[in-house]
Structure 1
Amino acid sequence: MQRKDLEAKKRHHYVWANYLTRWGSGTKKVFYTTKTGKVAHDSVRAIAVDDYFYKTTKLTDKHVEVIKGFSRQSPDHLQQQHMSYLNDCLKLQLAEDIYNQSSVQNEEFELHLIALKCNLLENLHASHEEKALPIMAALADEQLDILQDNQSIIEFMMFFGHQISRTKPFRDGIFKTQPRRHTLEIEIADAMIHAWWFLSYMFGMNIGFNLYAGRHKDTHALLINDTKIPFITSDHPVVNVHTCVSETELVAPEQADFYYPISPRIAYIICNSDRFTRGKNAVNETTVSELNSKLASQSMVHIIGSTEDAIRPFRKYIGRRYCKPLIDNP
Structure 2
Amino acid sequence: MSRKDLEVKKRHHYVWANYLARWGSGTKNVFYTTKNGRFAHDSVRAIVVDDYFYKITTLTSKHVEVIKGFSRKSPDHLHQQHMSYLHDFLRMQYVEDIYCKSDIRNQEVELRLHVMKCNLLENLHAAHEKKALPVLAALADEKLDVLQDKQKMIEFMAFFGHQITRTKTFRDGAIQVLSRRNAMEIVVADAMEHAWWFLSYMYGMNLGFSLYIDRHNARHALLINDTKVPFITSDQPVVNVHSCVSETEFGAPEHADFYYPISPRVAYIICDSEQFTPGKYEVDETTVVELNTKVAAQAMVHIVGDTENAIRPFKKYIGRRHRKAPDGRVMV
TM score, norm. by length of structure 2: 0.96
CA 1:141–1:262: 2 relative to 1, 3 Å: same
Q: Which residues of structure 2 form unaligned runs of 5+? A: 326-332
RMSD: 1.1
Q: Tell me, what secondary structure is at the counterpart of 1:321? A: helix
Q: Give the equivalent residue in structure 2 for 1:154.
A: 154
Q: Give the equivalent residue in structure 2 for 1:328.
A: none
1:81 matches 2:104: no
Note the 1:32-181 alignment, pairs <5 A: 32-181=32-181
Q: Distance in 2 between matches of 1:251 and 1:147?
A: 33
Q: Tell me, what secondary structure is at the counterpart of 1:89? A: helix
Query: How much does 1:202 deviate?
Result: 0.2
Deviations 1:206-243 (A, max 9, x none): 00000001000000000000000000000001000000
Query: How much does 1:3 deviate?
Result: 1.3
Q: Give the equivalent residue in structure 1 for 2:312.
A: 312
Q: Tell me, what secondary structure is at the counterpart of 1:220? A: strand
Q: Which letter maps to 2:80?
A: Q
Q: Give the equivalent residue in structure 2 for 1:265.
A: 265
Q: Which letter maps to 1:179?
A: S
CA 1:258–1:76: 2 relative to 1, 3 Å: same
Residues 249, 321 of structure 1: 8 Å contact kept: no
Q: Matched residue pairs, number?
A: 324
Q: Distance in 2 between matches of 1:324 and 1:17?
A: 30
Deviations 1:40-83 (A, max 9, x none): 00000011001111000000000000000110110000000000
Q: Give the equivalent residue in structure 1 for 2:328.
A: none
Query: How much does 1:248 deviate?
Result: 4.3
Query: How much does 1:324 deviate?
Result: 6.9
Residues 250, 322 of structure 1: 8 Å contact kept: no
Residues 248, 320 of structure 1: 8 Å contact kept: no
Q: Distance in 2 between matches of 1:248 and 1:35?
A: 23
Deviations 1:4-29 (A, max 9, x none): 11111111000000000000000000
1:186 matches 2:165: no
Q: Distance in 2 between matches of 1:248 and 1:24?
A: 34
Residues 247, 294 of structure 1: 8 Å contact kept: no
TM score, norm. by length of structure 1: 0.97
Query: How much does 1:106 deviate?
Result: 1.5
Q: Distance in 2 between matches of 1:321 and 1:144?
A: 31
Q: Give the equivalent residue in structure 1 for 2:26.
A: 26
Query: How much does 1:251 deviate?
Result: 2.4
Q: Tell me, what secondary structure is at the counterpart of 1:74? A: coil
Q: Distance in 2 between matches of 1:118 and 1:105?
A: 20
Residues 54, 121 of structure 1: 8 Å contact kept: yes
Q: Distance in 2 between matches of 1:178 and 1:104?
A: 42
Q: Distance in 1 between matches of 2:53 and 2:323?
A: 22
